[in-house]
Structure 1
């Protein structure tokens, strides 16, 4: 699959995710896709299980913002923010493609934290 096609598939995936369209959101995945959440030690096997898990999330996202998508070949990374119950979760998704579909995704989730005052002279704040 050409990189341009993968990028459009990713854009469609993230638009569907932001809109809460769980059917379109999962079109990008191979039937036997694997999704890992290393921080919780969970592995979701198969597109059907991944879609079911996301469909039953008790705290539906209230906001969704893709910051950037980078990649080439079969390896693509998306950095984005999801807002759950008024709190942002900074997220990184690493997707591996085969024959135009995601076969492996690893997602990392991070909570925001207060920047320590001691380093303020060397940094600027981003939003």
Structure 2
């Protein structure tokens, strides 16, 4: 599979995620894909379980924005934000492809935080 094909599949995946189209969102995964959430220690085995888990989320995402996608070969990283009931989560998805579909994904979620005053002289904060 060419990198442009994977990039197109990722673009379609994230657009489907943003509009809540669960079938199109999960078409990118192998049937036996594994998804890990390291912060909670959870491992979801199988595309069907992953789709079922996401379809039962009590705080359905209300906003979704891809910041950037970068990858090469079978390893691709997406940085994005998700809004859950007015709260933003900064998210990183690391996907490993096999045969044109995602075989393994690791997702990291982080809450925003205020910049500490002690480092103000070295940084800029937008807005």
Place the TM-score, normalised by the shorter chain, in its bin. over 0.9
The residue that corresponds to 1:6 in the other structure is 6
d(CA) in 2 for partners of 1:26, 1:50: 8
The question of 1:51 aligning with 2:33 is answered: no
CA RMSD in angstroms comes to 0.8
d(CA) in 2 for partners of 1:28, 1:99: 11
Unmatched segments (≥5 aa) in structure 2: none
TM-score, normalization by structure 1: 0.98
Give the deviation of 1:121 after TM superposition: 1.2
Structure 1 residue runs of 4 or more that deviate by more than 3 Å after TM superposition: none
The residue that corresponds to 1:88 in the other structure is 88
TM-score, normalization by structure 2: 0.98
Number of positions where the alignment pairs a residue of Structure 1 with one of Structure 2: 127
The secondary structure found in structure 1 opposite 2:115 is coil
d(CA) in 1 for partners of 2:101, 2:80: 20
